[in-house]
Amino acid sequence: MDKTDPDYVPLDFGAARQRMVDAQIRPAQVSNPHVIAAMRALPRELAVPEALRAFAYADQNLPLGEGRYLTEPRVTGRMLQVAEPVRGERVLVVGAGTGYLAALLATMGEALEVTALESERRLADIGRALCFTWAPGVYWRDGALVHGAPDDGPYDLIMIDGAVRAVPPAVLGQLTQDGRVIAPVCADSGVTSVSRIVCTAQGSAVQPLFDVAVPLLPELEPAPAFVF
């Protein structure tokens, strides 16, 4: 509705945020009090372009342009739950987009050191603005997602905010010895599952945790194989 219309009523984002937590997050087996508190407090509407703010608390992936999406709240909450961040850990968010996941991590009360890596300047500008007010401790880095952010590593926890076919080797190489990656991984079967990935002597081990409908990150899609 046009804001100049005399019948215009501003959206109550605060109430919508509480409904999101009560109707979407908590029923999705998210019980970590730090996750719940952060999602109740952080204004998700500031993580989307102004034209999409009315949909900020809908239970869906929101298109941000350039093939990128803001992951639906339920999935974000469950990813944070299974990530089990520990106080003082160093965390990297790959594909940080408009900063919502990175800001949640930084406001969870666990004194995490959070680095947000993003390659799309338009999205990163939104994320920087969100974090400037709500999560000023987040370090923002511009660069190709496939390379990670080695200057701020190694990391105890790496989260990828978008689906991938596989975690790029350079990103895996930035884990601490006992570190883990939490990411939606799209298997050859076409099923995407948020998974826990750790490094082993044989390479890496992928443990699927729960299935999701999360779009692939275009930048991390493997190049198509050449066929004669």
Q: pLDDT value at position 204?
A: 87
**In this structure, is residue 3 part of a structural domain?**
no
Residues 15-27 have pLDDT tens digits of: 999 999 999 999 9
**In this structure, is residue 32 part of a structural domain?**
yes
For the cut 90, the answer to whether the pLDDT of residue 90 exceeds it is yes
* Domain residue limits at 130: 13-217
The CA distance from 221 to 68, in Å, is: 12
Q: pLDDT value at position 4?
A: 53
**In this structure, is residue 18 part of a structural domain?**
yes
Domain count, the chain: 1
Across residues 83-91, what is the average pLDDT? 96
Residues 34-81 have pLDDT tens digits of: 999 999 999 999 999 899 999 999 999 999 998 999 999 999 999 999
Whether residue 154 is preceded by a cis peptide bond, meaning omega within 30 degrees of 0, is: yes
CATH number at residue 142: 3.40.50.150
CA distances 58 to 13, 45, 52, Å, are 12, 11, 10
For the cut 70, the answer to whether the pLDDT of residue 117 exceeds it is yes
**In this structure, is residue 2 part of a structural domain?**
no
pTM, two decimal places: 0.91
**In this structure, is residue 225 part of a structural domain?**
no
The H-assigned helical ranges of 53-149 are: 73-83, 100-106, 121-134
